[in-house]
Amino acid sequence: GKTTVFNLVTGIYQPDAGSMELEGENLVGNKPHRINRLGIARTFQNIRLFRNLTVMDNVRIAHHSHLEYGPLAALCRTERFYNGEKELQGKVEEFLSIFMLHNRKYEMAGSLSYGDQRRLEIARALASEPRVLLLDEPAAGMNPYEVGKLMEFILAIQEKFRLSILLIEHQMRVVMGICERLAVMDFGQVIARGIPSEIRENRKVIEAYLGEDITIE
């Protein structure tokens, strides 16, 4: 049920009941592109990049949602179009530097390592300038070293971009290491909420995920 929650928040699915708001703005009934414009961006459990486009073009596409010129200006190649493209290129270059992908900007996204593809997907999500970033199992498929670097990376982008991050993750090392508050689900039901130290000692969580005879050190 965890990814389903993200699909509901981002407008891929519509809820049967209830409400969802972002700073007073109702999200229910909005299409995904509208919710993105309202300030919510996401990544996916299975990385979804434009694999046959360059690293740079993957980031450019996300920035295009904030361009201040329309199709007519682009068609007629107006001054506003050229100014907008120049500003866009500057933003793209800045993002690629922040995410340590600048030297690979002309490579196809599909040629990157798994860890770099994950980093590019997060960069693309942030390029849409969200207020809330949803990360769906970002550590999936990573080795321990990559997981450690990912944790540092997530903390760094939260600090730099000053946004809220909602994370779905199965790796206890990740959730206990970077999350301020946790909600634990079991078979679609929330069984616990709290700070990491509270969740670590919660009997329902231990029984559901580790077995009732396990003690967490």
CATH classification of the domain holding 84 = 3.40.50.300
Residue 49 and residue 138 in one domain: yes
Give the contacts of 211 (CB within 8 A, at least 6 positions apart). none
Residue 152 and residue 198 in one domain: no
Choose the weakest-confidence range: 61-65, 103-107, 135-139, 192-196: 61-65
pLDDT band with cut points at 50, 70 and 90 for residue 19: confident
Residue 90 and residue 194 in one domain: no
From first CA to last CA, the distance across the chain in angstroms is: 28
| pLDDT computed for residue 216 by the predictor | 46
Residue 91 and residue 146 in one domain: yes
Residue 113 and residue 196 in one domain: no
pLDDT band with cut points at 50, 70 and 90 for residue 66: low
Domain hosting 192: range is 180-217
Distance CA 110, CA 135 (A): 20
How large is the average pLDDT for residues 62-86? 68
How large is the average pLDDT for residues 124-144? 90
Task: Give the Å distances, CA to CA, from 17 to 26, 95, 109, 141, 209.
Answer: 13, 39, 39, 35, 29
Residue 27 and residue 60 in one domain: yes
Residue 24 and residue 60 in one domain: yes
Total tally of structural domains belonging to the chain:
2
Residue 174 and residue 187 in one domain: no
